[in-house]
Amino acid sequence: MSRRVGVLALQGAFEAHQHVLRGLGAESTQVRTPSDLELVDALVMPGGESTTMSHLLQTCGLFDAIDSRLQQGMPVFGTCAGMILLAKGVLDGRSDQRSFSAIDIDVRRNAYGRQIDSFETDIAVDGLAEDFHAVFIRAPQISRIGSEVEVLARHKESAVLARQGSVMVASFHPELTNDARIHSMFIGLLQEV
Ligand code: GLN
C-alpha cells in the first residue's frame, strides 16, 4: 500500500526531502496546517532553524496536532533542526523553544563548534553495505541516549543516526546528497508499523 509522507514545510530544507522521497516512489506533500497533517501517514521534519520552526509550529496550530499524531505512533524522521524538535532535552536552546519529546535523547544545538560549523564525512550505517556521505550543517550533537534508542550510525563516538520505534533522527542532512538509502530506511520503517 502506498503511504503519503508529509514534509513539514514551514521553514528550512523541505523541498530537497520531497525530491528524494519522490525519487523513491513515495507520495509526498507539504505540511503547513493541521488539515495538511490529516492527509499524511508519516512526516519528515527537515533541517533549518529549530527556534524559528518551534515558534511557527505554535503560531500555526501545528504543534499540538503533530504532538497528538506522534502519541498515536505516526512515523517521523527528523533531520538536524528536525531532530532537535523531536528530542526530549534541548541544550543551548532558547528558553521558549519547545520540542516533542518523541525520542529519548538530549541534543546540544550547534555543538560541533564554530570553525567546523559545517563539514562532510563518510559514516558507516547499520544495515547499509557501503558508507554514507554525511553533510553536517551547524549540526546538533546527541549528548544523551536513552536505553530504548537504537544507534544506527556514529561519528567519532557520538550517535548521528538513531531510532526509537517509529521515530528516526539524523544530526546530518541525508537529503543533500544524491543518495536515497537513509530515506529508504525510513520508508521501510513505514511498512513495519
Ligand atoms: N543549528 C540549527 C538549529 O539549532 C540546526 C541546523 C540545521 O538544521 N542545519 O536549529
Active site residue 183: no
**Owning domain of residue 16:** 4-192
Ligand 1: residues with CB < 6 A are 47-50, 80-81, 84, 109-110, 137-138
Task: For residues 11 and 189, give the distance between their C-alpha atoms in angstroms, rounded to a whole number.
Answer: 25
Nearest residue CA, atom 2 of ligand 1? 49
From 11, 50, 143, give the residue whose CB has the most ligand 1 atoms within 8 Å, as the site to mutate: 50
Q: Are residues 10 and 65 in contact, defined by beta-carbon separation less than 8 angstroms? A: no
Hunting for cell 528550512 — which residue is that? 12
Contact between residue 103 and residue 169 where contact means Cβ atoms under 8 Å apart:
yes
CATH of the domain at 20: 3.40.50.880
Other Cβ atoms closer than 10 A to 99: 21
Positive or negative, the CA dihedral 110, 112, 116, 119 is negative
**What pLDDT is stored for residue 190 in this prediction?**
86
Q: For residue 14, what pLDDT is reported?
A: 96
- pLDDT at residue 117, as a whole number: 78
- What contacts 4, CB < 8 A, 6 or more positions away? 26, 27, 28, 29, 39, 40, 41, 42
**Candidate from 137, 142, 175, 176 with most ligand 1 atoms within 8 A of CB, to mutate:** 137
Cβ(87)–Cβ(81) below 8 Å: no
User: Based on the structure, what is the number of domains in the chain?
Assistant: 1
Q: What is the predicted pLDDT for the residue at 76? A: 98
Is 80 annotated as catalytic? yes
Integer angstrom CA distances of residue 54 from 1, 30, 82: 32, 17, 10
Q: Which three cell numbers stand for residue 119?
A: 563539514
SS (H, E, C) 106-153: EEECCCCCCCCCEEEEEECECCCCCCEEEEEECCCEEEEECCCCEEEE
Give the global pTM.
0.96
pLDDT, tens digit only, all 193 positions of the chain? 568 999 999 999 899 999 999 999 999 999 999 999 999 999 999 999 999 999 999 999 999 999 999 999 999 999 999 999 999 999 999 999 999 999 999 999 999 876 567 999 999 999 999 999 999 999 999 999 999 999 999 999 999 999 999 999 999 999 999 899 999 999 998 887 7
